[in-house]
Amino acid sequence: MKKLVTVILILSFLAPTLSSCTTGEKEQGGVEISVVTMYGGDDGNRAVYQNACYEYETISENTINDSSAQSSESWKAKVVTDFEVGAEPDVLFFFTGTDSDPFVRAGKVVSVDEIRKVYPNYAANMDYDMFPASAVDNECYAVPVNGYWESLYVNKTVFSSCGLELPDENYTWDKFLSDCAVIRDNGYTPIALSAYPHYWFEYFLYNECPAAVYGEIPAVDSGECWDAWVAALNKFKEFYELGFFPENYLTATDDETCRMMVDNSAAFLLDGSWKINYFIENGVDENIALTYVPGAGARATTDIIGGLSAGYYITQKAGENEEKRAACVDFISFMTSDEMVSKFGAMAITALSNGTLEEAHESELVTQARIILAGATDTTAAVQDSMDGDARTFMFESIRSSIVTGNRTAEDVLREVIGIKS
Question: What are the structural domain ranges in the chain?
Answer: 32-147+308-355, 150-305+382-419
Superfamily of domain 150-305+382-419: Periplasmic binding protein-like II (3.40.190.10)
Main-chain phi, psi angles of 314, to 5 degrees: -105, 125
Residue 298, CB-side half-sphere exposure with 13 Å CA sphere: 11
Average pLDDT of the residues in 315-337: 93
Which three-class secondary structure state does DSSP give residue 421?
coil
6 contacts 304 by C-beta, under 8 angstroms:
no
pLDDT tens digits, residue range 193-235? 998 898 999 999 999 987 778 888 899 998 999 999 999 999 9
What is this structure's pTM? 0.74
pLDDT recorded at residue 20:
39
The domain made up of 32-147+308-355 has a fold known as D-Maltodextrin-Binding Protein; domain 2 (3.40.190)
Q: What is the pLDDT of residues 244-286, one digit of tens each?
A: 999 999 999 999 999 999 999 999 999 988 888 889 889 999 9
State the CB neighbour count (10 A cutoff) for residue 264.
Answer: 16
173's enclosing H/E stretch is helix 173-185
CATH fold match for the domains 32-147+308-355 and 150-305+382-419: yes
Which pLDDT does position 351 carry in this prediction?
Answer: 55
Distance between CA atoms of residues 306 and 373, nearest Å: 10
pLDDT over 80 (residue 172):
yes
Per-residue confidence at 24, pLDDT binned at 50, 70, 90?
Answer: very low
pLDDT(366) > 60: yes
Choose among 63, 64, 65, 95: nearest CA to 79. 95
Which of 147, 83, 60 is closest to 333 using CA atoms?
60
How far does Cα 27 stand from its chain's mean position?
34
